[in-house]
Structures are given as C-alpha cells and as structure tokens.
Structure 1
Amino acid sequence: MLLAYSGFMSLPRVRTMPARQVLIFPLLVTAVLVATLPPFVHAAPIRIAYSSISGAMLPLWVAKDKKLFDKHGVDVELTYIRGVAIEALLAGEVHFVRASPPAVVRSTLRGADLAIIANTIKVAVFSLMTKPEIRRIEDLKGRKIGVSNLGDSPDLVLSLLLERWGFQRNKDLTVLAIRGGMPELLISVVKGFVDGGMISAPSNLRGIKMGLRELVDAADYGIPYINSPLSTRRSFIKSNRDTVLRVLRAYYEAVQETRNDKDSAIKVLAKYVRIDDPEILAEVYRIYGQKQLQKTIAVDLESVKGLLKGLAGANPISFVDASLVQDLEREGFPQTRTR
C-alpha cells in the first residue's frame, strides 16, 4: 500500500566546498595514490641473458629470485643462452648479458658499441680437472686438454697458466674444443675423450666425486681477470640510463644479499644449477658467494688488463663505462667506489 506525502522532505544540510578547494582536492588525492604505487617500472620487461650454468652467476640469480629488480622498479626476465649471448644482445633480443668476457672484447674490437658496466669477481676462477693418474703439472706434457670453446674464458685462462708454466700450446700439449657446456666437458674428461679440462663449479666438484683430480685451481694463482662482467650496449645506456641504474642498484644489493644470507643463497643456487648435493652446494657457495665474490660491483681495471693480455695497444678503459657505478657512489650507495 502506497502512502501519499504532500510535504517537503527534510534533507541534510550539505556544506559546499570553495572553488579553490575543489581544484586542489583531486590533486591531493592523486599525490597520495602515486605515493602508494610501486616505483616506476620499465614499460617492457628487461631481458638479461647469462651464458653458463656456473656459481659465478649467483648474484644475478639472487637478484631475480629475491625480487630485488622489482624492488628497484624494473621487470626483469632472465634467460640462459649458451654460446651466442653477445649476438642476442647485438640483435636487440636481450638488454644485458653476463657472458664470456673474451666475447665482449672481440665484439667491441669489431666495432660493437658494448660496455662492461659491472663485475663481481676479479680473478680467474676455473679448475684444471684431470684423470687421477695425472699428479703433477709436468704430467700434462703430451696430453689433450679440453675447453668449452676456443677463445672463451676457460681457454684464455688455460693460456695464462701455460705461460706461467713455460708450456707451449700444441707443442707441449694439445687443446681441444668440446661441444657443449661445462657438464659435457666434464663427461669428456670422465670418459677419457680428453685427459683434462678447464672446468668451473659446480661441474668441477661433481668431477671430484666421480674420481677426477683437481690438478690446479687457477684462483690460487691470483691472476687478475675480469671473470664476471655485466655488459650492455652504449646506445642502450644513452637512451635508458635510469633503467640501467635501477638494474645496477638491484645487482649491487644482490651481491650483499649473497654474502650475508648463506641459506637463502644456497637455495637459489640449487634451483638454477639443479644440484641437491649439500656438500657441492656449500662448496660452490664458499667459492662464489664468499671467497671470490667482490664486496662491490665496480670494475677493477687491472682485471680488464688480464683479459686483454696479448692484445697490444688495447686500452682497458675503452671497454668499460665506469660512470654508472660513479653515479651510484654519488647517490650514497655504500661500497661502490671504483678503483
């Protein structure tokens, strides 16, 4: 049943807002909303390629899995590209690479606009793994030594060792390229296709458990060598400098997280190297997460000189852009001072 009502309804009194306040209020709301949003994120994902399954990649993996890139406002995709990471960078398929240092140098010398912008290990970190009957360096004479690719880091580091020992390549011993990565090289040594191989962790540690001998740990020689550079194109730095700095802030923080949170770092390591042996994981972490890991991401020019040995007239500075780490230093980021 409907009831008729002939009077006026008593409405609540509404207080109107002055025109100036009407204009300012939406701006204040917008400011509050912006302040609560995540930091700026690059419109498209930033792709970073790494070229080997090695403990040297640990800070990169930590940055991704602990969401440090997200924290600093970049959406990063990691991708494993073996052998052609530099080519992917030059083709624009990825934006950064953790790739073989010699490949960066070769491409730069051919005219590519590449720059090394950070580094995390400044000595050569490879082991010469041999069959157990090879007990001394002198026993290498007449033998076959395998490397993953001729001209890449394991091969170059082997050349530096041969020079120290007074050996001549292809006279005192033979160096062979074994198709594939470190796991394939390890199997080649175990099965006797070669007598030894320049192998990095964790594959070298697996080799010890399979009966091989670690004849030489190159790191014990303290050979200056830019073992773990992060590189990009100079044109990308020029047009996306803020994004590059965000990536470096996350990368630096990942180095600190790796050093300071062993348990978490080992979990990340196990995920990417696909090994669940606690002894191997602990040793890989000791090498790459503590002993050889820099406290900074600065590029040491002496380590670049080690990479350039044999290239007469090559200037280490021409391969490096140190200005980005210097920007972080000016921001007050701790322990980023260049040397």
Structure 2
Amino acid sequence: MKLFFAKRFEPVRILVVYIAICVAGLLQFVLLPAAHADTGRKSVELLLGDVSLNKLPFVLAYEEGIYTRNGIDVTPMFSKGSVEIIRRSGVDIADQYIFKGDSTPPIKIGGASPTIIRLTTKAGSWDPIILGSTHRTSRWRIVARPEVKSVDDLKGKRIGYSGVGAVTHFVAIVFAERLGWDPQFDWSMLGDGLGVDALKNNYVDAFVGPELHATMAVDAGYKLLADLGDYQLPVAGSSFLFDRAWLAENPDTARRFMKSTVEAIALLKNDKEATFRTLRKWFQMTDPELLEFFYLEAEKLPSKPYPPYEGIKKVMQVYDSHEMRKYTLEHFYDDSFMKELDESGYIDSLYD
C-alpha cells in the first residue's frame, strides 16, 4: 500500500520540489539587496559611450532610484565626444551629465563592435568582457536628402557614418552586403557624416543613424528612407562592457547592476510617464510628438538583453585580420549573469 501511494504521488512531489527550487531562485534576485546588506554599498561610475536610445535604461535606473534600491550607487555620464556629435542634430545634454575623467570607468555602455575592432587594431586597447546588450539586431534608420527617393538610389551616393569601426560604420557595411553591393565601390562611405548638419551642408546624401539622430533629422524635414529593423541585420551594438579585473573582484556589484538593468527595461516598457520624465531631463526632449515617436522605438529594446552572439560573429568576419583570429567568440562575452536572471524566472516576473 505504501509503495502504491509513493508511486501515485511521486509526480506531485517532484512538481512541489521543482516549484520550490524556482521560487528560491526567484527570491535570490527579489531579495538581493537585503541578502547582501553586509557587503556594503558600492559606488560605481558608469560611462555611456554615446547619446542614444540604448542608454535610456541606465539613466532611467538612476532617475527612478533602481540602482539605490539594489544597493549600489551608480552615476551615469555621457562621453564628451558623443555629446558633441548629438548636439549637431539639435539635442543638448546638460554639462553635469558629461564625463570629464581621464580613465575608463569599470563599466561602460558602448558598442561591442568598435571595442573589439580597437582591441585588434590598436596596441594597448581595453579588453572588457560583455555581459549583455540592448542592440543585437539592427533597429536604426537611413535618413536621406529629398533627392534620394529609394534604397536603390543610394547606389553611387555618399553614405555618412560616425567613424571607422563604429557601429554605424559596421551597419553600413553589412547593409550594403545585404543589398548585394560592394561597400567600398558601390557607394562612398564618409566618416563624420552622422547627423542633421551633414545633410544640411550637403556633405552626405544619406546617413546610417541611431533612433535619436534619425528622429531629429526627420523632424528637420529630411526623409526616412529605410528602417533597418526590417532587414534583421546582426549587430554588436550597445553592450554592457565590464573591466575583467574589476568584475573578478566585484561579482556581487555586477549582479546588482545587471538586475537593475532588466528592471529599468521593464519600467521603460510598463511606465511611459517615467520614461518621458527622463527624456525631458536628460535628452532635453519636450516636443510631445517626438516623445511619443521615441518611446515607440524604446519599447523595442529586448526584455532579456543577452550578449550579441551573432553580431560579434559578424564583426569578426567583416573586420577579419591576423590579430582578430587570435580570439575566439567566447573570449568576448560572459552570459552567466543574464542566465541567472532569466532562468530564475525573475525577468518574466517583471512583466506579470
């Protein structure tokens, strides 16, 4: 009889144990600050590599107190160069949000592709590890002058990007290849050609632009020629870059940062007004139509920002070299922090 009931209720027992494990895993992240209160609050400078939609979750986490609730003090700052570029498109950033230090902070939110390219082309370059990304497939736009009527018209024209090795440069190359064109000879690729000024001064016929640059160009009367999201190009764009030595010494702080990031993305998707407050303050964006348009783009950010595996593969192919071949794909990323958050069910719980 005992054997009968044991067999009968064995599936139930297994289910109960499974649920208990899942709940324990979830509580690991829900209760993270309290569970590690004795470790002390850490202060971290966060460098935002450019002024773009991909940086919105990190300033939102700062503004809405998400970092503080998770037991870390994070101060996000934009790089000086990125602010100079975005100002050409009519977006201003207050001086207190501009990074003025000389050395790279331990965490940077920036393009994986330029980081990898710099590592393999410039001696002594930083070699961080990628823990996640909000830009794994193309979402950007091509904006053009009025005389360019279609994507086919781009052949033989001047296409602008920010700089060699930048994500805009990489996307332009991959897009040309997708069209069956030679990126070197079927059009002219011009650096420092990103933004409204480049179109206005007739320096370029079109440019590959992040959402914010493209939005401001369209608002200035230029033509939205192509939505690169329709092409699903693999991208190694804005990623969470961690200094390897710092990460080895501060895994708990990194875990709190990653938890804060997925929470900020969920808040962005679930609370439009909180997102608008941050856009108004940090991006000086007040026009209601621009706010709505930008928010629609922001909703496309991935809820589970894993590293850009396919994008990194493509970067290694496009910028192939003797030095690049010294590295494996796995050298560039660590997805264990994202897997912890995902497999525990914590990320899904943010959308229940």
Q: Which position in structure 2 is the counterpart of 1:136? A: 150
Specify which of 189, 194, 201 is matched with residue 175 of structure 1.
Answer: 189
Alignment CA distance shift 1:307-1:282 (3 Å): farther
Q: Which position in structure 2 is the counterpart of 1:326? A: 339
Give how far 1:238 is off: 0.5
Give how far 1:98 is off: 0.9
Q: Which position in structure 1 is the counterpart of 2:59? A: 61
Give how far 1:326 is off: 3.1
Structure 1 residues without counterparts, runs of 5 or longer: 1-34
The structure with more helix, counted as a fraction of residues: 2
Q: Which position in structure 2 is the counterpart of 1:101? A: 112
Partner of 1:97, secondary structure, is strand
Q: Which position in structure 2 is the counterpart of 1:156? A: 170
Greater gyration radius: 1
Q: Which position in structure 2 is the counterpart of 1:205? A: 215
State the TM-score, normalizing by the size of structure 2: 0.75
Alignment CA distance shift 1:258-1:307 (3 Å): farther
Alignment CA distance shift 1:301-1:100 (3 Å): closer
Alignment CA distance shift 1:82-1:126 (3 Å): farther
Give how far 1:300 is off: 4.6
User: C-alpha separation between the residues in 1 aligned to 2:37 and 2:71?
Assistant: 7
Do the aligned residues in 2 keep the contact of 1:113 with 1:235 (CA within 8 Å)?
Answer: no
Amino acid at match of 1:119: S
Partner of 2:318, secondary structure, is coil
Give how far 1:125 is off: 2.2
Alignment CA distance shift 1:98-1:175 (3 Å): same
Do the aligned residues in 2 keep the contact of 1:148 with 1:178 (CA within 8 Å)?
Answer: yes
After TM superposition, the structure 1 = structure 2 runs for residues 170-319 of structure 1, keeping only pairs within 5 Å, are 170-178=184-192, 182=194, 185-288=195-298, 290=299, 292-312=300-320, 313=325, 315-319=328-332
Give how far 1:303 is off: 3.6
Do the aligned residues in 2 keep the contact of 1:41 with 1:75 (CA within 8 Å)?
Answer: no
User: C-alpha separation between the residues in 2 aligned to 1:39 and 1:190?
Assistant: 56
- Output one character per residue of 1:52-93: Cα deviation in whole Å (capped at 9) or x when no partner: 1111211111111111111111111111115599xx9x9754
Give how far 1:308 is off: 3.1
Do the aligned residues in 1 keep the contact of 2:196 with 2:217 (CA within 8 Å)?
Answer: yes
Amino acid at match of 2:44: I
Amino acid at match of 1:127: R
After TM superposition, the structure 1 = structure 2 runs for residues 55-134 of structure 1, keeping only pairs within 5 Å, are 55-83=53-81, 92-109=103-120, 112-134=126-148
State the TM-score, normalizing by the size of structure 1: 0.78
Do the aligned residues in 2 keep the contact of 1:143 with 1:174 (CA within 8 Å)?
Answer: yes
- Output one character per residue of 1:134-182: Cα deviation in whole Å (capped at 9) or x when no partner: 0122322332121111210011101011111222234222111117xx5
Mean CA deviation greater in 116-125 or 230-239: 116-125
After TM superposition, the structure 1 = structure 2 runs for residues 12-91 of structure 1, keeping only pairs within 5 Å, are 41-43=40-42, 45-83=43-81
Give how far 1:190 is off: 2.0
Percentage identity across paired residues of the two chains: 21
Do the aligned residues in 2 keep the contact of 1:40 with 1:73 (CA within 8 Å)?
Answer: no
Structure 2 residues without counterparts, runs of 5 or longer: 1-33, 84-98
